[in-house]
C-alpha cells in the first residue's frame, strides 16, 4: 500500500474514516483490478527495520517542532495585526503532513472495507515486501513505489505508479541486460547499498558499489559469498570503518526472514 501513501496521507488527514476509505478505494481502482489483484498491508514492525523506523520517528518529531514554530509565528502575526499570506498556511501544512502516521485502527478498518468491496487483502505478519516476495510467481506483476522490491530474487516485473493510471515498468531481465550483471549480483548490489534494512558504507553509494560488484567473479551465484567478496575488496575495506556486515539485508532479501 506504500504505492498510494500520498493518497492515504491526504485521506486520513482531511476526511472522516468512511470518506477516507472511499477515497483510497477510488485510487486503488485506477491502479489494479480487484478480480486479479492481491493487496498487501504491512503488519508489525520488525527488528531488521528498526533503524528505518527510528529515522522516520525523528523526522516526525522534527516536523512537529517546526509546525509549532510556524503556528507560533502565525499567532504573533495575528496579534501584531500583520497580514497572513498563503506561504504561512503552506508552511504549517507542509510540516503537519510530515507528522502523519497511519494508525492501526484506520488501517484495519480499511482492510475490512476493501474485503467488503471484493478485494483480496493480505495482512502481512511483518513487512509486506517479504510477504509479496514469498507469494510472487513468474509472470506476476508487482505494483509498488518501493525500490527495495527489485532486490528480491522472486520479483520479475515491477510497475511503479507515477500519476493517474500511468506506470513506469521495470522488467528485471531487461534491467540486468542493461547493467551487464546477473540476478545474484543485482541482489548483492541491493544488499550492500542503502535500503530499508541497512545503510551503505559511507562513501560507497549505489554507483560505486555497482562498479565493485561488476568486478566480482561472475560465476559466483551465492549472494552471502558475493557480499563477503565485496567486503574483502580493498576499495571497501578502507572505507568500512563501522565494520558493517549487512546481516539484516541478507536475512530479509536472501533468506526472507523477519523478527518482530
pLDDT score for 247? 94
Of 8-12, 78-82, 181-185, give the lowest mean pLDDT range: 78-82
Whether residue 8 is found in the same domain as residue 95: yes
- Evaluate whether residue 22 is within a structural domain: yes
Of 90-94, 126-130, 161-165, 174-178, give the lowest mean pLDDT range: 161-165
> Cα angle at 49 between 47 and 51, to 5 degrees?
100
Instruction: State the total domains in the chain.
Output: 2
- Evaluate whether residue 197 is within a structural domain: yes
To which residue does cell 492501526 refer?
104
Tell which wins on pLDDT, 80 or 193.
Answer: 193
- Evaluate whether residue 55 is within a structural domain: yes
Average pLDDT over residues 54-72: 87
- pLDDT exceeds 80 at position 52: no
Average pLDDT over residues 109-130: 95
Nearest to 192 by CA among 160, 236, 144: 236
3-state secondary structure 18-31: HHHHHHHHHHHHHH
- Evaluate whether residue 153 is within a structural domain: no
Whether residue 98 is found in the same domain as residue 9: yes
Whether residue 3 is found in the same domain as residue 96: yes
Q: Is 175 helix (H, G, I), strand (E, B) or coil?
A: helix
* Three cell numbers written together for 199: 545503510
- Evaluate whether residue 88 is within a structural domain: yes
Residue that finishes a domain, picked among 86, 102, 118: 102
- Evaluate whether residue 120 is within a structural domain: no
* Three cell numbers written together for 8: 492515504
Alpha helices in 32-103 (DSSP H): 50-79, 86-98
Q: How many CA atoms lie within 13 A of 236 on its CB side?
A: 24
- Evaluate whether residue 148 is within a structural domain: no
Report yes or no: 44 and 64 within 8 Å, Cβ to Cβ. no
Q: Which of 50-54, 73-77, 132-136 holds the top average pLDDT?
A: 132-136
- Evaluate whether residue 39 is within a structural domain: no
Express each pLDDT in 107-116 by its tens digit: 999 999 999 9
Average pLDDT, the chain: 92
Q: CA of 113: how far to CAs of 32, 107, 108, in Å?
A: 16, 10, 9
Q: Which domain holds residue 64?
A: 1-32+45-102
pLDDT score for 170? 95
Per cent of the chain over pLDDT 70 is: 99
Express each pLDDT in 199-244 by its tens digit: 999 999 999 999 999 999 889 999 999 999 999 999 999 999 999 9
pLDDT score for 260? 63
User: What's the CA gap between 217 and 46, in Å, rounded?
Assistant: 33
Tell which wins on pLDDT, 122 or 57.
Answer: 122
Amino acid at each position: 500500500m506504500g504505492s498510494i501513501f500520498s493518497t492515504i496521507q491526504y485521506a486520513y488527514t482531511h476526511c472522516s474514516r468512511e470518506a477516507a476509505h472511499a477515497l483510497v478505494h477510488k485510487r486503488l481502482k485506477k491502479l489494479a483490478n480487484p478480480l486479479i489483484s492481491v493487496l498487501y498491508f504491512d503488519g508489525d514492525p520488525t527488528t531488521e527495520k528498526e533503524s528505518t523506523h527510528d529515522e522516520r520517528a525523528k523526522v516526525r518529531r522534527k516536523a512537529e517542532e517546526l509546525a509549532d514554530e510556524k503556528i507560533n509565528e502565525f499567532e504573533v502575526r495575528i496579534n501584531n495585526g500583520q497580514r497572513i499570506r498563503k506561504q504561512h498556511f503552506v508552511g504549517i501544512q507542509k510540516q503537519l503532513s510530515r507528522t502523519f502516521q497511519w494508525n492501526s485502527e484506520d488501517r484495519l478498518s480499511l482492510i475490512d472495507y476493501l474485503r467488503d468491496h471484493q478485494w483480496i487483502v493480505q495482512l502481512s505478519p511483518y513487512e509486506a515486501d517479504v510477504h509479496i516476495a514469498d507469494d510472487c510467481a513468474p509472470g506476476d506483476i508487482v505494483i509498488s513505489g518501493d525500490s527495495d522490491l527489485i532486490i528480491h530474487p522472486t520479483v520479475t516485473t515491477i510497475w511503479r505508479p507515477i500519476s493517474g493510471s500511468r506506470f513506469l515498468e521495470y522488467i528485471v531481465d531487461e534491467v540486468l541486460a542493461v547493467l551487464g550483471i546477473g540476478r545474484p549480483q543485482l541482489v548483492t548490489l541491493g544488499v550492500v547499498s542503502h535500503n530499508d534494512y541497512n545503510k551503505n558504507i559511507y562513501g560507497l553509494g549505489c554507483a560505486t558499489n555497482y562498479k565493485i560488484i561488476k568486478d566480482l567473479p561472475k560465476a559466483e551465484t551465492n549472494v552471502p559469498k558475493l557480499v563477503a567478496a565485496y567486503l574483502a575488496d580493498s576499495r571497501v575495506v578502507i572505507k568500512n570503518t563501522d565494520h558493517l556486515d549487512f546481516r539484516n539485508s541478507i536475512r530479509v532479501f536472501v533468506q526472507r526472514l523477519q523478527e518482530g
